[in-house]
A and B are shown apart, each in its own frame.
Chain A
Amino acid sequence: MRLELRFFATFREAVGTKTIEREYEDGALVGDVLGALEDEFDGLEGQILQNGGLKPQINVLKNGREVLHMAGVETELEDGDTLSVFPPVAGG
């Protein structure tokens, strides 16, 4: 399945661009995809996952909905889904 992956603020810098597309095996879960992203981009390593779950300092949306309100890293994905990864920012 093909997914669109979107990155905001510091995550955008780690990836180098706001939006990428990647192919994953059918049945891959949110945690699998995020783990693969941590492996692919040095700047993301250790920034997203922690102890088998999401780090408390980041937010991940599937099609604009918080994955924590679904099954977290166990959330299922379908071809064409969009995952967005962002941190809070504090500048003023």
Chain B
Amino acid sequence: MSLSLDSTQLDRYSRHIIMDEVGPEGQQKLLDGSALVVGAGGLGAPVIQYLAAAGVGRIGVVDDDVVERSNLQRQVIHADADVGIPKVESAKKFVERLNPDVTVEAHETRLDTDNVEELVADYDVVVDASDNFPTRYMVNDAARIHDVPVAHGAIYKFEGQVTTLTPDGPCYRCLFREAPEPGTVPDCATTGVLGVLPGTVGCIQATEAMKLLLETGDVLEGRLLFYDAMDMTFETVPYRENPDCPVCGESAIDSIEGIEYSGGCTIAD
């Protein structure tokens, strides 16, 4: 790694650079680093915002939706004038205005079994800011196969669940063996969501992604953080590897080929 911060960058990132915990070397790691943000919605918006501001050099954004007016109550990178345009395009435009050091790779597509492995393997960290179980299981499986860490966050009305899935720690399937049956855990469109909730949860995911890129601190490996916005409580509970886990256990899969990501997202023996 060669340090090549120019005078504008020394100024822009000065509050990072003066800290021993980041320093010029850490800032260079961020500039040389890459993150794939899956979903440019409520969680993805603050993640993209802070990773871009911090100077993460290459940010991939995957989303196949367009901006809707009902998104704007919480998806803070999109603006009124963006209604109707693809979210990845709006995200790219936002980042270009914020920080010219950052390259946004807009992937206007839905993650599926044909593209997930190639996308995930191309980045240093993945931030799972998606909004459905099949994508979450798919991201976990592909990231584990390719040894890419995942900063995971999910929300429900006024509660959040955050954890970090490192290549050496337990995976999402160790924590949640099966996805709930479709319809039993409804989505934001059905239940509503407190607008600021994904801001808090997404910022925690962005923090984890930064620490992974900086290779510093203790991430939420083997720990599930519950955030309750109503009680204003944070609780952490530990979880462990499942030796029988089909993705990271003793007889782990080496490809997602043939996995049916619908219903319980289970992997057949």
Chain B residue at minimal CB-CB distance from A90: B133
Do residues A91 and B131 form an inter-chain contact, with CB atoms below 8 A?
A: yes
Do residues B181 and A91 form an inter-chain contact, with CB atoms below 8 A?
A: no
Do residues B176 and A88 form an inter-chain contact, with CB atoms below 8 A?
A: yes
Q: Does B161 contact A (CB under 8 A)?
A: yes
Cβ distance B246 to chain A, nearest Cβ, rounded Å:
12
Q: Does B141 contact A (CB under 8 A)?
A: no
B interface residue count range (under 10 / 10 to 19 / 20 to 34 / 35 or more): 35 or more
A interface residue count range (under 10 / 10 to 19 / 20 to 34 / 35 or more): 20 to 34
Do residues A92 and B154 form an inter-chain contact, with CB atoms below 8 A?
A: yes
Do residues B226 and A66 form an inter-chain contact, with CB atoms below 8 A?
A: no
Q: Does A52 contact B (CB under 8 A)?
A: no
Chain B residue at minimal CB-CB distance from A55: B178
Residues from chain B with a CB closer than 8 A to the CB of A86 are 226
CB contact list, B174-221 vs A, under 8 A: 175-181, 184-188, 191, 193, 198
Residues from chain A with a CB closer than 8 A to the CB of B240 are 66, 69
Q: Does B41 contact A (CB under 8 A)?
A: yes
Do residues A92 and B156 form an inter-chain contact, with CB atoms below 8 A?
A: no
Q: Does B231 contact A (CB under 8 A)?
A: yes
A-B residue pairs in contact (CB < 8 Å), sample of 30: A8-B159, A9-B156, A9-B159, A9-B185, A10-B185, A56-B177, A56-B264, A57-B178, A57-B179, A57-B184, A59-B175, A66-B237, A84-B237, A87-B185, A88-B133, A88-B175, A89-B161, A90-B131, A90-B133, A90-B136, A90-B154, A90-B179, A90-B185, A90-B187, A91-B131, A91-B154, A91-B156, A91-B188, A92-B43, A92-B131
Chain A residues in the interface with B (C-beta under 8 A)? 8-10, 18, 47, 56-57, 59, 61, 64-66, 69, 84, 86-92
Chain B residues in the interface with A (C-beta under 8 A)? 39, 41-44, 128-133, 136, 153-157, 159, 161, 175-181, 184-188, 191, 193, 198, 226, 228, 231, 235, 237-240, 264
